[in-house]
Structures are given as C-alpha cells and as structure tokens.
C-alpha cells in the first residue's frame, strides 16, 4: 500500500470544527490514505494579532503538502482584517474555483429536480483584488482588475473540465454590455477559446438575465464560467436551489496547490449546536481524494453519502416534515454515512471517480505572453476632490490646458457634466477631468502630465489620482464618458 499523503487541515470557525471533524471521521473510516496535519487559520490567529489570519506554521505546512482541506472561516467585518479565504486563493495561485451543484430529488426537496451544474469561477481577480481607497469625503473606490492571463486560464480550464466530465455546454456570464473593457475581455477570450472546442455547445449571457434563468430553469445549464464576484453569487444560488447551501463542496485549483472547502460560510447562527450539515465539507473531501489520486475512496464515500440521503438521513437544513423521523445531528449523519460505506445508491445516480487528470490544469496554467503592443500616451484623466458644482470647477480646469493637452470633458461618477451637462445630474465631490493630446501627432510625453499636475497644484485644486490614457496598436485603451 502506498504511503499516506500528507494534507493540511484547518478546522475553521463557527460550524467549521463540527463539519470538519465529522468529515475526518468519515475519511478515516473509509481508509483514505492521508496523513492530516492540523493548521490554524482564521479567528484564533487574528486574535493573536496576525491580521492576515494565517500564521507562519500554517504557511509552512500548506506549501509543503500543497493540499488544504479547510473548514469555513469567519471574516471579521470591516476593520483591518483581510479575508483568509481570499489571501489563500491568491497567494497560492488557486485560479480556478470549481463548484458543482446537483439536485437529489426526491430525497432532498427541491423545485428543480434536474439541476446538475458546475460553476467555474475565476478566483484571483475582479473586485476581490481588494484594492480600495477613500478618495474624497463622499466617495470610495474599489478597483476591478481583469487580466488576459486571468481570463485565459479560467476559460481554458472550464472548457477542459467540461470535456473531461463529458459535459455538453459551456455558458459564459458577464456584464460586457456595461463593462465593455473588463467584462468585455472575459467574453472575448471565451469566444476565442470556444473555437478550440467545437464538440461543446457555447453561449454567452448577460449576468442579470443569466442569474434569473439559473434560478428559474437551472436544468438548461451545464457548465457556467464567469468572473469572481458573479461566480460567488451564482454558485450560492445553484447550491440553495438544490435544497441547502450546506450541500455543496468546492475545489480551488492552481498549478502548485489545491484547496478544498464547502461553499457555505461559518454559519455563526447555528455554530456549536451540533446540527450543521457536513455534506458540503464531505463532498469537498471527495473532490480532494479524486485530486490526490484516490478515486476508489472518493467513490466509496460519495456513494455512501447518496445512500444515506436515500434512506432519509437528513440534517435539519434539508429535513422536511414529510421526511421520516427526526433530523439527524452532525455526528449522527456522519455515522450514517460510515454505516453505508461499501453500498451503492438505488435510485440516485451512482458516483464514479477516475484519477483526476491534471492535464487541464497544466494546459490552462500555461499562459504565453504575446509580443508587446505599440503603446502611445494620448491623454490623462485627472480625478479631483471638489465640493462645488461643475460650473465652479470647469473654468478653473480649463485654465490648465495648453498647446499640448486640451480639456475634453469633466465627468462626475462617470457622467459628463462639462461641456453641455444637464442640470438634473447629481454631483458628488469627486470629478474626473479628461485631458487629451492636442499635438498634431496625437501623442504626448509623461512630462506633459507632470507639468499639468503642477499647474493643477498652483490652481489650488486637490487632485486624487492621475490615470493615463493610452492607445494599444492604435486602439483606445479607455472608455468614453457616459453621454460623451
Ligand atoms: P453562511 O453560509 O455561513 O450562512 C448562511 C445561512 O446558511 C445561515 O442561515 C446558516 O445557518 C446556513 N448554513 C450555512 N452552512 C450550513 C450548513 N453546513 N448546514 C446548515 N445550515 C447552513 O453565510 P454568512 O452568514 O453570510 O457568513 C458567515 C461567515 O462566514 C462570515 O464571516 C463570512 O465571511 C464567512 N464565509 C466564509 C466562507 C469560507 O470560509 N469559504 C464562505 C462564505 C462566508
């Protein structure tokens, strides 16, 4: 028999220790060939004054084992605390978040008995970059960063996963009608990569109607690939539609490491009562076993779990009055699964795992940076903190223009307020002043911007930031103002 594989295990916060311990009991009973090492993450680490929530010993273990089975962690709201979940995903390069949701009707009540969808969520970018600033008294900013490697890696991964799992369709969801550059990059990469997978049907949906359709007719979806924030929301919707958020597991996959966790949080409202559903954590552990090359154990645990559902073993979150008997406690539910190891479900589809091919990760993780584009500096957006209306600001900003940079517009929260603004437009204390090259060649030097900033300082205007306007191979790398 092969040596047990070391894995790092974090019990987590709230219901985390309850569902993780139940899962570890099942893994032990199923003779999983693993050597768990407990690491501390989350609340207890924050309380020791480590604001990242991850202590050095945990990093050492995780970087050595390269596999982490993690209970949910509480992210303290506000304050100086960063989410450990986001830190781990980004620091370990876990670019793909895979979240299957399946209905188990009639054994778990759901309005959508045919739901069987995998949400593949980009895991490192988007608004989760956590780059936020207060810019004025009235305005906060959160940067949405979307990169070509980020889009290519997740989209390629989703297609490879769809093919490997015998799926038929990949749906991309974005808001590229509004965010034409960021979400637009994601959907254009999707169309490019789709050409390499003619065997799979593809479609693109705007996220709002896509989410509505998912809630209404989830059976029309197969694999969904989307950006980080949308994927977070969609996967919770999909899991809840199957009966409970407590039912879904997830894998966070990178080329160097992988993290497995339930999709639900630490559920402080029921923590310590011994009633949490450990299914999400159990199915995450099943995904982990498949990942580390133990598909036999993964198959056995998943089928025992299905048998338990068929036999009416339910935790409180999925227990219905029509069901037989009382809801089971977390440890009783784990015991019911252990009792059924070696059995196969009668009505639900039997689970069969094969050794996970790492090919799709390897292929997706390889990003070849193309030759650089020709970049030309053609202007600058200067953001200004100003308490008055646009009528007070525009003459002062116009005075800053010269024969190299002319003022082309002023916007407030993206809406043009000069020239020809509407009096109805509500203005905050946060303006953007767009200067564009007035030179015959259409381009300028960085020094022109530095001099412009100096003139702005002499004018007594409080600038917040300068965002350069560039073209790339002649294509503008900036959006127009609303109403421009
Ligand atoms: P939550 O998922 O913890 O709870 C939402 C609701 O679902 C609650 O009513 C809860 O009782 C119920 N629920 C969740 N898991 C359940 C289970 N296994 N069995 C039965 N019922 C379950 O979401 P929340 O309340 O928004 O977040 C609580 C904390 O968890 C926050 O600090 C949040 O940041 C954190 N969180 C962590 C993760 C993670 O570690 N990956 C994910 C989401 C939220």
Give domain limits for the chain. Answer: 1-95+244-349, 111-241, 375-476
**Which residue's alpha carbon is at the smallest distance from atom 8 of ligand 1?**
267
Residues of the chain with pLDDT under 50: none
For residue 145, give the nearest of 122, 129, 169, 164 by alpha carbon.
Answer: 129
Same fold, 1-95+244-349 and 375-476: no
- Asked whether 85 lines ligand 1 (CB < 6 A), one says yes
Nearest residue to 379 via CA among 435, 463, 451, 440? 435
Take residue 166 and report the two structure tokens written for it.
């015998």
- Note if the pTM is more than 0.85: yes
Please tell me if the CB atom of residue 295 comes closer than 6 angstroms to any atom of ligand 1.
no
The rounded Å distance from CA 191 to ligand 1 centre is: 35
pLDDT at 76: 74
Residue with CA closest to ligand 1 atom 23: 265
Q: Report the Cα 146 to chain-centroid distance in Å.
A: 12
d(CA 358, CA 463): 49
Q: Ligand 1, residues 17, 23, 77, 245: which to mutate, most atoms within 8 A of Cβ? A: 245
Q: Which of 116, 126, 183, 236 is flagged as catalytic?
A: 236
CA distance 259 to 282: 14
Top mutation candidate among 265, 269, 318 for ligand 1, by most atoms within 8 Å of CB? 265
- Known catalytic membership, residue 431: no
| Residue 304 Cβ < 6 Å to ligand 1 | no
CA atoms within 13 A on the CB side of 475: 5
Q: Is 411 in the pocket of ligand 1 (CB under 6 A)?
A: no
Question: Are the CB atoms for 186 and 146 separated by under 8 Å?
Answer: yes
| Known catalytic residue at 236 | yes
With a 6 Å cutoff on the Cβ, whether 281 touches ligand 1 is: no
Catalytic residue among 31, 208, 216, 473: 208
* CATH, domain 111-241, list 2.160.10.10, 3.30.110.40, 3.40.640.10, 3.40.718.10: 3.40.718.10
CB of 280 shorter than 6 A to ligand 1: yes
pLDDT value for 470:
96
128 is catalytic: yes
13 is catalytic: no
Q: Which atom of ligand 1 is nearest to the CA of 280?
A: 18
CATH number for the domain formed by residue range(s) 1-95+244-349 = 3.40.718.10
Whether 275 lines ligand 1, by a CB cut-off of 6 Å, is no
Q: Is the shortest distance between the CB of 53 and ligand 1 below 6 Å? A: no
What CATH number labels 375-476? 3.30.70.1570
Asked if 340 and 31 touch (Cβ cutoff 8 Å), the reply is: no
């Amino acid at each position: 028999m092969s040596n047990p594989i070391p894995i790092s295990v974090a019990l987590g916060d709230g219901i985390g220790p309850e569902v993780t311990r139940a899962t570890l009991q099942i893994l032990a009973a199923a003779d999983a060939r693993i050597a768990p090492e407990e690491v501390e993450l989350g609340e207890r680490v924050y309380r020791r004054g480590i604001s990242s929530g991850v202590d050095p010993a945990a990093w050492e273990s995780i970087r050595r084992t390269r596999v982490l089975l993690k209970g949910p962690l509480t992210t303290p709201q506000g304050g100086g605390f960063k989410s450990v979940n986001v830190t781990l995903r980004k620091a370990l390069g876990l670019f793909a978040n895979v979240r299957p949701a399946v209905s188990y009707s009639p054994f778990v009540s759901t309005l959508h008995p045919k739901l069987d969808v995998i949400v593949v969520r980009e895991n490192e970018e988007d608004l989760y970059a956590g780059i936020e600033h207060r810019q004025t008294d009235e305005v906060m900013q959160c940067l949405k960063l979307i990169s070509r490697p980020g889009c290519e890696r997740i989209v390629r991964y989703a297609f490879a996963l769809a093919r490997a799992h015998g799926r038929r369709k990949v749906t991309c969801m974005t808001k590229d009608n509004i965010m034409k550059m960021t979400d637009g990059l994601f959907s254009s990469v999707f169309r490019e990569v789709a050409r390499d997978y003619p065997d799979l049907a593809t479609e693109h949906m705007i996220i709002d109607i896509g989410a509505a359709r998912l809630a209404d007719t989830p059976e029309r979806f197969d694999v969904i690939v989307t950006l980080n924030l949308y994927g977070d929301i969609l996967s919770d919707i999909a899991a809840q539609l199957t009966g409970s958020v407590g039912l879904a597991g997830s894998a966070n996959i990178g080329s160097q490491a992988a993290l497995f966790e339930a999709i639900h949080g630490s559920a402080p409202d029921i923590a310590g009562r011994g009633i949490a559903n450990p299914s999400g954590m159990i199915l995450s552990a099943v995904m982990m076993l498949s990942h580390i090359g133990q598909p036999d154990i993964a198959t056995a645990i998943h089928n025992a779990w299905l048998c338990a559902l068929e036999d009416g073993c339910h935790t409180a979150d999925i227990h219905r009055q029509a069901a037989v008997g009382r809801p089971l406690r977390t440890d009783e539910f784990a015991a019911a699964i252990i009792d059924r190891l070696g059995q196969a479900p009668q009505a639900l589809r039997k689970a069969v795992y094969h050794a996970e091919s790492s090919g799709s990760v390897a292929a997706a993780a390889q990003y070849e940076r193309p030759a650089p584009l020709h970049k030309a500096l053609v202007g600058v957006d200067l953001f200004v903190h100003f308490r008055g209306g646009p009528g007070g600001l525009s003459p002062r900003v116009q005075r800053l223009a010269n024969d190299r940079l002319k003022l082309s517009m002023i916007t407030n929260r993206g809406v043009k307020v000069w020239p020809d603004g509407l009096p109805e437009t509500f203005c905050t204390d946060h303006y953007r002043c767009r200067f564009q090259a007035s030179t015959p060649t259409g381009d300028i030097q960085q020094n022109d911007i530095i001099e412009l900033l100096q003139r702005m300082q002499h004018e007594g205007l409080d600038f917040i930031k300068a965002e350069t306007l560039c073209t790339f191979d002649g294509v503008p790398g900036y959006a127009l103002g609303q109403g421009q």
